[in-house]
Amino acid sequence: MNIQWAASPNFTVGRSGKKIIAIVDHITAGLMPGTLSWMRNPTAKASAHYLVTKAGEIYQLVKDEDTAWHAGEVKKPNWPLYDGSNPNRYTIGIEHEALGGESLTEAQYQATLELHRMLVKRYSIPIDSDHIIGHNRIDAVNRPNDPGPLFPWQRLLTNLTGQGSKYKPGIVTVPIILPTGKIEGPILNIDGSDRTYVPVRELAEALGYKVRWDEITRTVTIR
C-alpha cells in the first residue's frame, strides 16, 4: 500500500491522552485536486488523517498520533462510544473523494479496504459498526449523508473480518465438470460473497454454442 504524505496545518498536536478507538469514514463532497488542497488550506479549519481518491490513491494529511479536525461538531449523535468529549481525539478520520450520492470506485474501495485493514490491526480496533462508523453517526444534523447511503458498510465489514471467503489469500480454482471434460474456474470474492468464474469459451463450446471474439469492439458473442 502506497501512502503519500501531504501535510495539513489543520490539526492539534497529540490526542489529549486519549487512545484511538474508532475509524470515522467520510465523503468529501468535492473532487480532486481541489478537495485535497482545501484540506491543506488553513482557512478550511478542517482535515482528516487520510484521503482516498477515486483513482485509489491514499494521501495522509495528519499523523495518526495527532488530532485531525474531521468530526469535532457533535449534533444528535447516534454512537454509543461517544464519551462527551471531542470525538476527533479518539478517532481516525478517512475522507473519500466523492460527491453526494456517489458510490466509491472499485479502485477506491480496494484502497480504503487495505487502509482500514492496516489501521484496525495497528490500533486493535474491533471490526463492527460501532468502531467503524460514518460521520453521520456523530453529526446527524449537518452531515446526514456523510458518507451517504451508498457507502459499502456491509462489504467493508465482511471483507475486514474475512468472513466472506473461505478461500483466501490469493486466487483459488475449483474443477468444473463439463460434458467435454474438466476445466478450472477461479473463485473470486467480489462483493463479500464467493463466486466461481468460468472460462467462457470452454463452457459455451461444451454446451454446444459458438463463441466469437471481436477484436475491434472487444466483445464476446455466444450463439
Nearer to Zn ion, 35 or 159 (CB): 35
The region that residue 148 occupies, defined by phi over 0 for left and psi between -120 and 50 for alpha, beta otherwise, is: left
* 3-state SS class at 82: coil
In this structure, which long-range contacts are made by residues 77-82, counting pairs with CB atoms below 8 Å and at least 24 apart in sequence? 77/137, 77/138, 77/139, 77/140, 78/136, 78/137, 78/140, 79/130, 79/133, 79/137, 79/138, 80/130, 81/21, 81/22, 81/130, 81/131, 82/138
Nearer to Zn ion, 12 or 145 (CB): 145
Nearer to Zn ion, 26 or 116 (CB): 26
Provide, rounded to whole angstroms, the least separation between the CB of residue 30 and Zn ion.
11
Contact 198, 211 (CB under 8 A): no
Provide, rounded to whole angstroms, the least separation between the CB of residue 26 and Zn ion.
3
Segment contacting Zn ion by CB under 5 A, of 5-13, 23-31, 164-172, 187-195: 23-31
Question: Where in 160-219 is the site for Zn ion (CB under 5 A)?
Answer: none
The site string for Zn ion over 104-143 (x = CB under 5 A, - otherwise) reads: -------------------------------x--------
Provide, rounded to whole angstroms, the least separation between the CB of residue 23 and Zn ion.
12
Nearer to Zn ion, 140 or 203 (CB): 140
Considering only CA atoms, which of 4, 8, 11, 3 is closest in space to residue 39? 8
State yes or no: residue 146 binds Zn ion (CB under 5 A).
Answer: yes
Strands 194-196 and 181-189: antiparallel
Question: Where in 49-78 is the site for Zn ion (CB under 5 A)?
Answer: none
State yes or no: residue 25 binds Zn ion (CB under 5 A).
Answer: no
Q: Which residues of 62-71 are buried (b: 16+ CB within 10 A; e: fewer)?
A: beeeebbbbb
State yes or no: residue 26 binds Zn ion (CB under 5 A).
Answer: yes
State yes or no: residue 96 binds Zn ion (CB under 5 A).
Answer: no
Provide, rounded to whole angstroms, the least separation between the CB of residue 187 and Zn ion.
36
* Interface ranges with Zn ion (CB under 5 A): 26, 135, 146
